[in-house]
Structure 1
Amino acid sequence: MVSKPSSYQVALFLKARGDYGREIIAGVCDYVRSTRSVWDLLLHEDFRDSVDGISEWSGHGIIADFDDPDFESTLSDLNIPVIGVGGSYQRESDYPRNVPYVATDNEKLVTEAYTHLVDMGLPRFAFYGSPEAHRYRWAVEREKVYLKLCARDLTKPEIFRGKGTFGPDWDEILSDVIAWLRELPKPIGIIAVTDSRARHILQACILADIAVPEEVSIVGIDDDPLLRMLTRIPISSVRQGTRKMGQIAASMLHRRLKGAILDEPRIIIPPAGLNPQISSRYQPIYDPYVMRARHYIRQFAGQGIKVAQVAAYVGVSRTTLETHFRRAFGWTVHDDMLAFRLQLAREMLEEGERSLERIAELSGFTSNQYMHAVFKRELGCSPREYQRQQVIR
């Protein structure tokens, strides 16, 4: 006789509004699908309002965000199994007590972003953090890592925490960021504590006419695809190992539900890699006309702009701008735009989510046929052949 699968009611106290929480939840679901157990998953996104009366809840287990110390203390003494997820800490005393814990490695996240900027040839570095220190301890930890790296390399730290992200204050938030950016020495690489804060930097640079990445190079943390879609210039970002965090947290809870004692009550998950985008591809350029032109090209090349529009933005004649580009690179403004459009198309082909017609439109080519001709001339293959090559690799 086949035994009936075990059934559990599990509460997830996790925020699904950002990529961090969504990917942890996805990892939990990955694990549940891999077992014969039946899990009734209850999602509490606004968990600070849901925790009252949790001690009387009749469920079997909880996976919860422990980055908020108040919430951590509320759940740590329950009589049902609880698995905490959150950030790693430099001090042992900051970790939850008596609760199994799965953490994203804050030290490695910031170090990977910092190392990338070093590899790009940046001479100095800054950090854009968060003012909400009590409820978001991971932000404080990431700032500590940045300070430690600056001390190691004997570089002057530049830190700005700014304001929290509230819609009515958006203009004031960007105004403060612009003021900070203008005071920074250039060129500089900036590590943002999240992709959302990285977007602040990028929008402030666009408004202040600060060239990205020639003057300010930006790296965020989360690699959130939705936020990347909201920016004119794609932002480089470090991927957290959040899906793996969810899988491991669910596995730990499952073992606790079956009465097992965990051999590893704390597991630290390293980053899943860095996704390099245009925002951090620093090239030392000292010609202000070229920097302004490329800043404009990166924002609008996908919209099919012409060389004359670039020259008008810079405030010089087309002939003058062409002279500056040839002096700096040995090629024309049109060549530079074409190379950028080709790069955009290649990245979208690698993602594999859009039709060729849509990719041609979004990357600024006038037609699929023109994009095909450029791929053949520059890369020796068609767009579809290029896409197949990436799958094989």
Structure 2
Amino acid sequence: MSPHRIALLFNANKVYDRQVIAGIGQYVTSTRVKWDLFMEEDFRSRTAGIRQWRGDGIIADFDDPMVAEAVSMLSMPVVAVGGSYADESQYPPGIPYVATDNRKLVQLAYQHLIEHGLQHFAFFGKPPAPGNRWAHEREMWFLNLTAEDGLEGIVYLGLETSADSWDRAQNEVVEWIRSLPKPIGIIAATDARARQLLQACIVADVPVPEQVAIVGIDNDPIVQTLSYIRPSSVIQSAEEMGRTAARLLHQMLHGGDYSATRMLVAPAGINVQASSRHRCISSPYVMRALHYIRQYACMGIKTEQVSSYVGVSRTLLGEHFKRELKKSVHQVILEHKLETARRMLADPEISLSDVAVRSGFISLQYMYAVFRREFNCTPKQYLEQLRSSGRTQPEQPLPDLGAAFQV
């Protein structure tokens, strides 16, 4: 029996599309279906010639209006993947649709910010465009959720970013952030938008998350890598969407009729990082100091550099830290370095010596000494414990290091 020829129309430069494709691959390998999968060599989604393509079925990203238009009228089985819509007319007629649940994505981020004690909320979306309908849907759910709680939901759409518009776009985001009531929680339509917010907060010298707490959507590892302050992000169940879409197409190829099927896939959870761990801090000195520490702790900064940035004496800053956090400045710097080291230990591609350097320790030997003192084990033993517990990342946040590092 010849394999079915299946086209995957996705842009794999986006983490969401890559994860959907991964889910399709998981279904194919786990079920051993005989599929010959077609994708462009550069993993871009191009529709030219798709109407003449002699295949058996298609799984396509219907958030892209050009793709949706190109395949909607084909006679072969098609499964659509995309964002969910409150308005049923937004779905393509006669085509099964596997959707990420936009309402639950926003609701999860919103509830997380509420749980951290915030009372002001904003949404950083995307400007109107045919390919941004999913972003408008998330904006709508944000406004519905805040209205239900009797709160004002602030929305900012910003500009589409490109090389020639980046400076203007970023300057406008900086001004918007400065104009907001604070403290405030901001939900970004994507992780790319969350990274733009984090960069703007650094330029505006606005402490994150004490004054602005940020949650993105996508859990994109590239954004995590590129950000000084790691962004919290809602995890879409994109791989599950891919598996579901592949299963539907498999059944359609064997005579199943799923033309009226609409399947909503809820988010998998939220990856909580530093950008949204808001806590009420009254001292502006502590806010500024924490903002600086999150950016530069792994570059070997000392208490003197932090106090110089804040603009007060080391003694006065230490008093404020003791009153607000019950910790010294040095202790907080070290906690951040240890958290960074623990996170990198889970990556087998990073050597122990690189972990030590990149997390700001003066040597591998010193990092070993600190781990023994604080965790009663070496970094290698800590990693083994992490793996034996079934986790791939350490629990957050770090335990209090106590008074061992008073300055």
Does the CA contact (< 8 Å) of 1:133 and 1:139 recur in 2?
A: no
Indicate how the Cα distance of structure 1 residues 169 and 288 shifts in structure 2: closer, same or farther if over 3 A, else same: same
Q: Which residue of 2 aligns with 1:292?
A: 288
**How far apart are the structure 2 equivalents of 1:350 and 1:124?**
36
Which residue of 218, 225, 229 corresponds with 1:229? Answer: 225
Q: Number of matched residues?
A: 387
**CA-CA distance at 1:70 after TM superposition:** 4.6
Match of 1:117 in 2: 113
Q: More displaced, 30-39 or 191-200?
A: 30-39
Q: Percent identity?
A: 50
Alpha-carbon separation, structure 2, partners of 1:79 and 1:264 = 16
Q: Which residues of structure 2 form unaligned runs of 5+?
A: 390-407
Paired residues of 1:133 and 1:140 also in contact (CA < 8 A): no
CA distance in 2, matches of 1:277, 1:267: 30
1:380 to 376, 383, 389: 376
The RMSD of aligned alpha carbons is 1.7
Report what 1:27 is aligned to. Answer: 23
- Residue 350 of structure 1: how far off its partner (Å): 4.1
Task: Check if 1:333 corresponds to 2:313.
Answer: no
- The correspondence of residues 1-393 of structure 1 with structure 2, limited to 5 A, is 4=1, 6-44=2-40, 45-47=43-45, 50-262=46-258, 265-393=261-389
Q: Distance in 1 between matches of 2:31 and 2:325?
A: 57
SS at match of 1:271: coil
Q: Give yes or no for contact 2:215–2:233 (8 Å, CA) kept in 1.
A: yes
- Name the CA distance, whole Å, in 2 between partners of 1:264 and 1:365: 58
Q: Is the 8 A contact 1:132 1:164 kept in 2?
A: no
TM-superposed deviation, 1:195:
0.1
TM-score (norm 1): 0.94
Give the Å deviation of 1:259: 2.2
Q: Could you list the runs of 5+ residues in structure 1 that have no partner in the other structure? A: none
1:261 Cα shift? 2.4
> Deviation digits for residues 329-371 of structure 1, max 9, x if unmatched?
2321101101111222222234555332222222212222222
Give the superposition deviation at 1:378.
2.4
CA contact (8 A) 1:129 1:160 kept: yes
Give the letter for the 1:40 counterpart: D
CA distance in 2, matches of 1:347, 1:38: 39
Q: Do the aligned residues in 1 keep the contact of 2:95 with 2:258 (CA within 8 Å)?
A: no
Quote how far apart the aligned CAs of 1:272 are: 1.3
Amino acid at match of 1:218: I
| Structure 1 counterpart SS, 2:25 | helix
Q: Give, in whole Å, the separation in 2 of the partners of 1:59 and 1:304.
A: 58
